[in-house]
Amino acid sequence: MIPTSKIAVVRIGLPELYLVKYMAHRACLNGSSSVRFDEGDREENLYDDNLVGQANTLALHYYLFKQKLMAEDVYNYSRLLANMNPTQSDGGQDVLDSDIDMKGSMIREWYKKKDPNDMRCSVREYHDNWIYVFGFVSNYAAEQHYNKEKEIIVKILGWLKSEDLPPPSTEPGKWNGARYLWGRDIRPLPIPKNLYPSIFSQQLLKHLK
């Protein structure tokens, strides 16, 4: 069970929201979804899905690297590489030079009162020896809400290692083929620092010169 005190809350307001929105639009080119299998559903929700994903990814950078400007530099550079190769998958790597995959989702209006411990934390794009981090946007439901609220609130629930995950689910429906644990069963924050590069490490600084 993950207590509320262990959930990291990251607020993304202006002007950073403009950055997230821009990156979400760029990510829409040749975008796909591992959850939405219907082509019409995927196209209809592609921008919203990407906006939620980019907000979670930027929030993870803020959480890991603490220093705002440096965190944004690392995020911007990784997105620059992705935007230069829009048809090439990043393989799930969301933090430069590290095997970390941020799994971000959106809490629906009707779902808001549900305990995050009762949420499924799922992985479809699985890699051995990776770290998976789970976050969710709690105040965003559609583009009109985004414009009115002028901020997105990301809550980072926890993390796990590849070996923590069970085999792919065989249950019918949208969870078929996904590996998942309930929120109460994943590892609470913080993420050990030896599992991701320091903001001052040579491997990151070489990209930011």
Tell me: the pLDDT tens digits for 9-50? 999 988 998 999 899 988 887 555 555 545 555 566 788 888
Residue percentage of the chain with pLDDT more than 90? 40
Residue 126: predicted pLDDT: 93
pLDDT, mean of residues 169-184: 93
Q: For residue 204, which of 96, 68, 93, 79 has the smallest C-alpha distance? A: 96
> What is the percent of the chain with per-residue pLDDT over 70, rounded to a whole number?
76
Tell me the sheet residues that pair with 160: 132
Between CA 7 and CA 152 the distance in angstroms is: 16
How far apart (Å, rounded) are the C-alpha atoms in residues 78 and 95?
7
Q: Which residue has the higher pLDDT, 138 or 157?
A: 157
Helix then strand then coil, in percent of the chain rounded to 5, is 40, 20, 40
| pLDDT given for residue 38 in this prediction | 52
Per-residue pLDDT at 132 exceeds 50:
yes
Q: Could you read off the pLDDT of 156-175 as tens digits, one per residue? A: 999 999 999 999 999 998 89
What pLDDT score does 144 carry? 47
pLDDT band at 200 (very low <50, low <70, confident <90, very high): low
Tell me: pLDDT of 125 over 80: yes
pLDDT in tens, 74-97: 899 889 888 887 666 666 788 888
pLDDT, averaged across the chain: 82
More confidently predicted of 132 and 144:
132
User: Residue 98 and residue 16: Cα distance in Å, rounded?
Assistant: 23
